[in-house]
Amino acid sequence: MNTELLERVRERLAGEGREAALAHGLLAVQLPRDALLDTVRVLKESFGFDLFLDVTAVDWPEREARFDVVFHFYSTRDHVRVRLKTAVTEVDPEVDSLVPLYGSAAFMERECHDMYGIRFRGNADLRPILLYEGFEGHPLRKDYPKDREQPLVRYRE
Amino acid sequence: MRDTEETLPNPVRPAFETPSTEDGVIVNIGPSHPATHGTLQIIAELSGEKVVRADVHCGYLHRGFEKECEAHTWHTLIPYVDRLNYCSALINDFAYCDAVETLMGVEITPRTRYLRTLLSEYSRIADHMTCIAASVMELGAMTAFLYLMTIRDWIYEHLADLTGARVTYSYGRIGGLAHDLPDGWLKRLEEILDEYEEYIGRIHGLMDRNRIFIDRTRDVGVISTKDAIHWGFTGPILRSTGAPRDLRRDTPYLAYGELDFEVPVGINGDNYDRYYVRMREMDESVYMIRQLIEMLPEGPINVDDRRCTLPEKERVYTEIESLINHFKLVIDGPQVPAGEVYRAHEAANGELGFFLVSDGTGRPHKVHARAPSFVHMGGLHKLLEGYQFADIISTFGTVNMIGGECDR
Amino acid sequence: MNPGHEKTGAFEYLTTRKDELVGWARKFSIFPYPFVTACCAMEFMSVSSTMYDTDRFGAALPRFSPRQSDLMMVVGTITHKQAPILKKVYEQMCEPKWVMAFGVCATSGGFYQNYAALQGIDRIIPVDVYIPGCPPRPESVIDGIMQLQDKIANARHPIVNEKF
SS (H, E, C) chain A: CCHHHHHHHHHHHCECCEEEEEECCEEEEECCHHHHHHHHHHHHHHHCCCEEEEEEEEECCCCCCCEEEEEEEECCCCCCEEEEEEEECCCCCEEECCCCCCCCHHHHHHHHHHHHCCEEECCCCCCCCCCCCCCCCCCCCCCCCCCCCCCCCCCCC
Cβ-Cβ contacts under 8 Å for B141 (sequence gap 6 or more): B206, B207, B210, B213
SS3 B118: helix
Mean pLDDT of B173-186: 88
Q: What is the pLDDT of residues B87-114, one digit of tens each?
A: 888 999 999 999 999 988 888 999 999 9
Q: Report the alpha-carbon distance of residue B24 to residue B281 in Å, rounded.
A: 41
Strand B339-347 and strand B176-177: the pairing is unpaired
Q: Is A154 on the interface with B (CB under 8 A)?
A: yes
Residue C31 forms contact with B (CB below 8 Å): no
As a whole number of angstroms, the distance between CA B372 and CA B350 comes to 5
Q: Would you say residue C87 lies in a domain?
A: yes
Residue C57: inside a domain? yes
pLDDT value of position A71: 92
* CA-angle at B380, arms to B377 and B383, nearest 5°: 160
Question: Can you list the domains of chain A with their CATH numbers?
Answer: 3-121 (3.30.460.80)
Going across the sheet that includes C32-36, the strands are: C32-36, C71-75, C98-102, C129-131
Determine, for residues B365 and A58 on separate chains, whether the beta-carbon distance falls below 8 Å: yes
Helix B142-163 vs helix B110-138: crossing angle, to nearest 10 = 160
Cross-strand pairs, B344: B353
**How far is it, in rounded angstroms, from Cα B380 to Cα B384?**
7
Q: In whole angstroms, what is the distance from residue B235 CA to residue B239 CA? A: 6
Gap between the Cα atoms of C121 and C18, Å rounded: 33
Do B9 and C84 make contact, defined as CB atoms within 8 angstroms? yes
Q: pLDDT tier at B281 (50, 70, 90 boundaries)?
A: very high
* For residue A147, pLDDT beyond 60: yes
Contact between chains at B229 and A51 (C-beta distance less than 8 A): yes
Does the beta-carbon distance from C76 to B168 stay under 8 Å?
no
Kindly report whether the peptide bond that precedes residue B31 is cis, defined as omega within 30 degrees of 0: yes
**Which residue, C72, C78, C71, is CA-closest to C121?**
C78
Q: Report d(CA C47, CA B152) in Å as an integer.
A: 12
The rounded distance, in Å, linking the Cα atoms of B94 and B85 is 12
CA angle, residues A119, A124, A130, in degrees to nearest 5: 65
Mean pLDDT of B159-175: 89
Contact (CB, 8 A) for B253 and A1 = no
Cα distances (Å, whole numbers) of residue B74 to A31, B80, B184, B327, C154 = 29, 11, 32, 15, 49
**Is residue C6 domain-resident?**
no
- CATH code of the domain containing C111: 3.40.50.12280
Please write the tens of the pLDDT for every residue from A7-48: 887 877 777 777 878 888 888 888 888 888 888 888 888 888
Please list, residue by residue across B230-239, b when 16 or more beta carbons sit within 10 angstroms of its beta carbon and e when fewer do: bbbbbbbbbb
Q: What is the mean pLDDT of residues A53-65?
A: 89
* Spatial distance between the Cα atoms of B221 and B383, rounded to a whole number of angstroms: 5
Per the structure, the count of domains in chain C is 1
**Residue at C22 is within a domain:** no
For testing contact with chain A, the best of B342, B367, B385 (most A CBs within 10 A): B342
At B308, the pLDDT band (50, 70, 90 cuts) reads confident
Q: Which residues of A touch B365 (CB under 8 A)?
A: 58
pLDDT given for residue B158 in this prediction: 92
**Chain A residues closer than 8 Å to C125 by CB:** 156
- Neighbour count for residue A136 (Cβ, 10 Å): 8
* Per-residue model confidence (pLDDT) at position C160: 60
pLDDT at B5 over 60: no
Indicate if the pLDDT at residue B222 is higher than 80: yes
B119 band by pLDDT with thresholds 50, 70 and 90: very high
What's residue A39's pLDDT? 87
pLDDT, position B193:
92
Instruction: Look at residues C104, C160, C102, C156 and name the one whose alpha carbon lies nearest to residue C128.
Output: C102
What pLDDT does A72 receive?
A: 92
**pLDDT for A1:** 59
Q: Do A56 and B62 touch (CB under 8 A)?
A: no
Q: Could you report the per-residue pLDDT of A93-146, keeping only the tens digit for each?
A: 889 898 888 988 988 899 999 889 898 888 888 888 888 888 888 998 888 888
Bridging pattern class, strands B350-358 and A81-88: unpaired
Query: Does C94 carry a binding-site annotation?
Result: no
pLDDT over 70, % of chain B = 98
Each residue's pLDDT tens digit, B190-217: 999 999 999 999 999 988 888 988 988 9
C67: in domain: yes
Contact B144, B199 (CB under 8 A): no
Closest Cα in chain B, distance from residue A112 (Å): 11
pLDDT of residue B35: 65
The three-class DSSP label of residue C36 is strand
Point out which residues pair with B208 in neighbouring strands: none
Convert B137-184 into a string of H (helix), E (strand) and C (coil).
HHCCCHHHHHHHHHHHHHHHHHHHHHHCCCCCCCCEECCEECCCCCCC
- The whole-angstrom separation of Cα C44 and Cα C75 is 7
Return per-residue pLDDT of chain C as tens, 164 residues: 455 556 566 666 767 777 788 888 788 888 888 888 888 888 888 888 888 887 787 776 777 788 888 888 898 889 998 888 888 888 888 888 899 998 898 998 888 888 888 888 988 999 999 998 888 988 898 888 888 888 888 887 776 666 65
Closest CA to B400 of B359, B332, B349: B349
Residue C71: inside a domain, yes or no?
yes
- Per-residue exposure over B117-144, b if at least 16 CB sit within 10 Å of its own CB, e if not: bbbbbbbbbbbbbbbbbbbbbbbebeeb
Residues of A with CB below 8 A from B353's CB?
53-54, 72
C105 marked ligand binding residue: yes
Rounded CA gap, B164 and B167, in Å? 9
Helix, strand, or coil (residue C24): helix
Distance separating alpha carbons of residues A101 and C92, to the nearest angstrom: 45
Our separate counts of H helices and E strands in chain B read 17, 8
B20-25: list long-range contacts, CB under 8 Å, 24+ apart: B20/B45, B20/B52, B20/B53, B21/B47, B21/B52, B23/B47, B23/B48, B24/B52
Measured in angstroms, the CA of C46 and the nearest CA of chain B are apart by 7
What is the nearest CA distance from A157 to chain C, expressed in angstroms?
8
Q: Is C15 exposed, middle or buried (0-12, 13-18, 19+ CB in 10 A)?
A: exposed
Residues of B in Cβ contact (< 8 Å) with A49: none
Q: Using N-to-C axis directions, what is the helix angle for B271-295 and B185-207, rounded to 10°?
A: 160
Kindly indicate the confidence band of residue B273, based on its pLDDT and cuts at 50, 70 and 90: very high
CB B211 within 8 A of CB B134: no
What is the rounded average pLDDT of the residues B325-342?
A: 88
Tell me the chain B residues in contact with residue A70 when contact means C-beta distances shorter than 8 Å.
340, 355
- pLDDT at residue A157 is higher than 80: no
What mean pLDDT is predicted for residues B347-361? 90
d(CA B53, CA A41): 29
> What integer pLDDT is reported at residue C8 of this predicted model?
61
Q: Which of A153, C126, C118, C121 is nearest to B1 (CA)?
A: A153
- Specify the pTM: 0.90
Beta-carbon neighbour count of residue C14 at 10 Å? 6
pLDDT of residue C10: 65
Q: Is the pLDDT of residue B337 over 80?
A: yes
| Cα gap C138→C145, rounded to integer Å | 11
- The string over A63-86, giving b where at least 16 C-beta atoms fall within 10 Å of a residue's C-beta and e elsewhere, is eeebbbbbbbbbbbebbbbbbbbb
Listed residue (C84, C81, C67) closest to C33, CA to CA: C67
pLDDT interval class at B368 (50, 70, 90): very high
- Per residue in B253-265, pLDDT (tens digit) is 888 988 899 999 9
Q: Using 50, 70 and 90 to split pLDDT, how confident is the model at B280?
A: very high
- Asked, for residue C11, whether it belongs to a domain, the answer is no
- List chain A residues with CB under 8 Å of B356: none
Is pLDDT at B315 greater than 60 in this prediction?
yes
CA B116, CA B7: separation in Å to the nearest integer? 51
Scanning every residue of chain C, which has its alpha carbon at the shortest distance from the alpha carbon of A133? C81
Contacts of B268 (CB under 8 A, 6+ apart): B218, B219, B222, B240, B241
CA nearest to C75 within chain B: B38
Minimal CA separation from B82 to chain A, in Å: 20
The pLDDT value recorded for residue C5 is 57
- C130 lies in a domain? yes
Which helix or strand (DSSP H or E) is residue B342 part of?
strand B339-347
Selection from A72, A98, C79 nearest residue B352 by Cα: A72
User: Tell me: the pLDDT tens digits for B25-59?
Assistant: 888 887 877 766 778 888 889 888 889 888 888 88
Q: Residue C47's domain spans which residues?
A: 32-154
Q: What is the pLDDT of residue B40?
A: 86
